[in-house]
Structure 1
Amino acid sequence: MLEMLRDSAFTSAWFGLMAMVWFGWAQEAPPPRTKPLLIAGSVLGVLLAAGFGVYTGLHWGDPTALNETGRMRFGIVVGIEVAAAGIGCLVFARLGARRWMAWWVAVVVALHFLSLAWIFGGWGLVLLGLVQVAGLAWLAYRIKGQEHPTSRWVGPLMGVTILLFGLVNGVVTLARG
């Protein structure tokens, strides 16, 4: 779904790793019956990461959008987003609203996909980001008065959407490669 094969393969590998991270964060305070599903999601993420990590290595010499200009744009965008996530979490901590940190980081990540589409030319990333932003807005409304950490709901939303995108992207990548 990205323009260049190497970037597409790496994206599936990275999304596998990130799916594992989000499913893991969801285990901070999960409903007991969901824990096996969260573990299964993490395992699927690791398998996706490993498989496409190898495939990326086989195509490492292929062209990438991260030429000099692309690397600079990517670095600036990621730097801004890391700062936004950190500052937002600091604000939530100071306000005594630590439970919202996972939600805030997820918002930054979802918006991050919109900027990645611009850098890599993968317009499916726009769809992913918009689906996540809509889901996060709905979750914020639904869980506003609850006491559990937001990771309980945000982790599965982000994990599932990232894993599904990584799998679909992987199939498309293999079909092209």
Structure 2
Amino acid sequence: MLTDFTRDHAFTIAWFGLMAFVWCGWAQEDPPPRWRWCLGVASGLGAILAGGFGYSVALHWDDGSALEGRYEWFGAVVGLEVLLAGAGCLVLARRSQSRWMAWWVALVVALHFIPLAFFLGDWSLALLGLMQAAALFGLLPRLRRTDEPTSRLVGPVMGASLLVFALLSCVVFVARIGSPW
């Protein structure tokens, strides 16, 4: 993450750690046996980042945010994205295509990073979202050939990309700001 706001930087690392934990957890719905240990390690690292940088957010709460004065707009955009993800899942469930829910939610999440980049003034987030979206579309041919839950492949893609982004952001955080605590 490339921002001048310490709280935003710490929050993004914590949130991406938590989301890496969640996506790697969703991937454990039906993983190949050889992937299980990697998913467990990635989940653990995500949880550590979430906890450690979550504490940092509390320490830096008064440092300001790029969202100052725009919380309502940010909330409206996120609310619309949640509605879009939920509506898509409802449609998939009614069409008996629930296995596609993970892919749909992942696409909404990936595309969410584009407006988030505008709100936070950090184009690395847009790059992350575009890379995730490209990877998700790249998975489509393989996903269409099977009846497996899409979470089997989507979870590791999303979890790994968020974890790598969070870890790289940690390096930037420590280099620019110092200890998160």
Q: Does 1:17 align with 2:18?
A: yes
Deviating 4+ runs (over 6 angstroms): none
Q: Does 1:152 align with 2:158?
A: no
Q: Which residue of 2 aligns with 1:117?
A: 117
Q: CA–CA distance in 2 between the matches of 1:72 and 1:34?
A: 41
Q: Which residue of 1 aligns with 2:89?
A: 89
Q: Which residue of 1 aligns with 2:45?
A: 44
Q: Which residue of 2 aligns with 1:71?
A: 71
CA contact 1:110–1:130 (8 Å) conserved in 2 = yes
CA contact 1:27–1:152 (8 Å) conserved in 2 = yes
- Percent identity, please: 55
CA contact 1:3–1:120 (8 Å) conserved in 2 = no
Q: CA–CA distance in 1 between the matches of 2:141 and 2:45?
A: 30
- Cα deviation for residue 174 of structure 1 reads 2.0
Residue deviations 1:87-145, cap 9 Å, x none? 00011111111000000000000000111001001110011001100000011122112
The unaligned stretches of length 5 or more in structure 2 are none
- Cα deviation for residue 55 of structure 1 reads 1.6
Q: Which residue of 2 aligns with 1:29?
A: 30
Secondary structure (helix, strand or coil) at the match of 1:61 reads helix
Residue deviations 1:136-161, cap 9 Å, x none? 00111221120110000000000000
Secondary structure (helix, strand or coil) at the match of 2:28 reads helix
Aligned residue pair count: 176
Alignment of 1:131-170 (within 5 A): 131-170=131-170
Q: CA–CA distance in 2 between the matches of 1:74 and 1:3?
A: 19
Q: Which residue of 1 aligns with 2:59?
A: 58
TM-score w.r.t. structure 1 length? 0.96
The unaligned stretches of length 5 or more in structure 1 are none
Q: CA–CA distance in 2 between the matches of 1:3 and 1:113?
A: 18
Q: CA–CA distance in 2 between the matches of 1:7 and 1:125?
A: 12
Q: CA–CA distance in 1 between the matches of 2:3 and 2:106?
A: 22
- Cα deviation for residue 63 of structure 1 reads 1.2
> CA RMSD, aligned part only?
0.9
- Cα deviation for residue 162 of structure 1 reads 0.3
